[in-house]
Structure 1
Amino acid sequence: MRRYISVGGVVKPLVVTLCGSVKFKQAFWDANFNETMAGKIVLSVGGLEHDDHFDLTEEDKRMLGDLHKRKIDMSDEILVLNVGGYIGKSTEGEIEYARQHGKGVRFLEE
């Protein structure tokens, strides 16, 4: 498993964005820890601890989706947390977006 990438002769840690349904909170926490311990910089969804306490509007959800795409833009790859093989519509869009922009795509479960 690669840990580093060379950009313009500078070696830097790989940046990975976690993608998947926020209903799998433990998978996000575990992947964040495991990827960090593998020497990678991890970007994830915001508000896992608070998602049960806020009612998000459709505008909020769109903004968060756009923000997550900007995280993918900053990444070298995404890690899809497809627990039990589940991939929702938003995650499908993130996978397609990552591939269209030349990002690596890995899956928690093959």
Structure 2
Amino acid sequence: MSDHPEAPVVPVAACEPPYYAAVFTAVRTANQRGYGETNARMEDLVRSLPGFLGMDHAQNPGGLSITVAYFRDADALTEWRTNTEHRAAQQRGRDDWYQSYTLHVAKVERSHGFTRPQD
């Protein structure tokens, strides 16, 4: 979700499973009026929800973006999905900002990570 260049480039740390991942893949339209402000508000909002674990985001030069948000349990994910402000932003996205998108929700059963030691 983040278009913030100052954000550190590190993946969300591995968590103790099970937890949920919501994978949002999108291609945006040329009309991005209001997107940045709404995106920043949605990031603040999701980060404030109990059960939110973190978020990874990537975009390729061709315009395909992928955001993966991680939630401790299905209740936390449902709270995000049904949040009134989020629902309004979703509608605005369909009306203005997205050419196409997909959403995949998965239960994570295994998780591990690696970080190279600092020299």
Task: Give the structure-2-normalised TM-score.
Answer: 0.31
Task: Give the structure-1-normalised TM-score.
Answer: 0.33
- Whose helix fraction is larger, Structure 1's or Structure 2's? 1
- Structure of larger gyration radius: 2
- Whose strand fraction is larger, Structure 1's or Structure 2's? 2
